[in-house]
Amino acid sequence: MKPLKEKISITLDADLLVILREKAEEDERSLSQYINLVLRKIVNEK
């Protein structure tokens, strides 16, 4: 069973959003999937 997901709203700096969109496209993921991946990696490193 897939983990539950929740929708949230956040505000990002415009330049950061551009970079995240580019990285997500390079990785062939949606922006949401890419942000999830990056955040999970950061949280697991701590």
Give average pLDDT by consecutive 10-residue segment, the chain, 46 residues.
86 98 98 97 92
User: What pLDDT was estimated at residue 26?
Assistant: 98
User: What pLDDT was estimated at residue 46?
Assistant: 78
- The Cα 29–Cα 40 span in angstroms is 15
- The Cα 22–Cα 35 span in angstroms is 12
- The Cα 2–Cα 7 span in angstroms is 15
User: What pLDDT was estimated at residue 39?
Assistant: 96
User: What pLDDT was estimated at residue 36?
Assistant: 96
- The Cα 4–Cα 30 span in angstroms is 17
For 20, residues 6+ apart whose C-beta sits below 8 A from its C-beta are 12, 31, 34, 35, 38
